[in-house]
Chain A
Amino acid sequence: MMIRTQILFPPDLLESARLYAASRKLSLSELVRHSLTTKIKPKKKMSFYVAMSRLSKIMSKKKIKVPADFATNDKYLYQRP
């Protein structure tokens, strides 16, 4: 499925784009799609386990002691250490 949208171009760029597309037997839409596809690549996501392991290491360096029930007790949401 394609979605119609509007893009504003400076006149010079539009002319260059049309010429470039024509020289390669592409429509302007095809050229824009192809250009954006190569420019915008989805970033590969790291595993959440790896991400949280990194955070755990950063936290460990701070050497902060927390209460034993810190993870389970909601009172620490509002209670300052």
Chain B
Amino acid sequence: MSPAPTLYRGREGMWMWVVHRATGVAIFFFLVVHVIDTALVRVSPEAYNEVIESYKTPIFGLVEAGLVAAIVLHAFNGLRIIAIDTWPWALRHQRMLVWVVWGIMILMMAAFLPRHLSNVFGGA
């Protein structure tokens, strides 16, 4: 018989731990790049505009969509971690809360993607 799953061993809790780390690292490296590209406003308006144009290309548009999804997952899983540290009810239902986090991500992306993708692919 295999040992019973715990908060961080096996099943949803363990995989959310992996997702939290992976999204955290991705967001960290994007943040470093994002501060540097924003710093170009101190070089010249043209230098900034030229680099920021690349954020409006289809490939970057899709990367941004992935980044927003990563931020939403990391944010709401962070709230789940706070909840299971704080309330015994949340600890007992931590696996269900994983699916709540994914549900919130899907809802928020359903609100974000149509607008964002039409901005990216609609042509301005």
Q: A and B from one assembly? A: no
**A interface with B by C-beta (< 8 Å):** none
